[in-house]
């Protein structure tokens, strides 16, 4: 893994965790929603992640910093036939949103005869959303986001230190 590739991996994770936090916040906001705009019961949503890039952990092509930067840098100082083209450098990896799936559970029925959405027996169906579970998911997304921000900052420091060495 090279330094610039680490920025890409952390950047993709930041995007994925932001979406996870948004979906979780939407679930929490709609925990008491008995009817959506289309008249149906709100359904909890889940974010599914998948890895992108190569599945192995082998190092990128050798070079000053590795990856596309190193390939283009090396190609200026070596024979063009010996250098690897920048387009041939494998993707560093990361994470992406594979999909957002809807939980099709029945919902929770509560007795509330005065509610406008109550059925003939006085029961209202609420989404099957546990605020505690949603809060734990949100905390996990927030911590993962924070860790990736720290990784980006550390990578920026390493790139700066590498450039200082070249002076």
Report the DSSP beta bridge partners of residue 46. Answer: 101
pLDDT, tens digit, 9 for 90 and up, residues 86-145:
444 445 788 999 999 999 988 999 999 999 999 999 999 999 999 999 999 999 999 999
Residue 79: φ, ψ to 5° = -65, 130
The pTM score is 0.72
Spatial CA neighbour of 109 closest among 94, 120, 96: 120
With beta carbons less than 8 A apart as the criterion, state whether 46 and 20 touch: no
**Under 8 Å between Cβ of 41 and 35:** yes
């Amino acid at each position: 893994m090279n330094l610039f590739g680490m920025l890409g991996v952390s950047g993709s994770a930041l995007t994925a965790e932001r979406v996870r936090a948004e979906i979780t916040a939407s679930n929490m906001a709609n925990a008491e929603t008995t009817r959506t705009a289309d008249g149906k019961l709100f359904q909890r949503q889940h974010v599914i992640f998948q890895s992108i890039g190569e599945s192995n952990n082998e190092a990128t092509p050798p070079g000053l910093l590795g990856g596309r930067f190193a390939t283009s840098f090396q190609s200026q100082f070596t024979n063009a036939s010996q250098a690897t083209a920048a387009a041939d450098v494998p993707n560093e990896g990361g994470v992406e949103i594979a999909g957002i799936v809807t939980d099709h559970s029945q919902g929770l029925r509560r007795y509330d005869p005065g509610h406008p959405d109550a059925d003939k027996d006085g029961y209202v169906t609420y989404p099957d959303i546990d605020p505690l579970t949603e809060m734990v998911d949100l905390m996990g997304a927030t911590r993962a986001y924070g860790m990736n921000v720290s990784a980006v900052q550390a990578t920026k420091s390493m790139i700066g230190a590498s450039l200082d060495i070249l002076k």
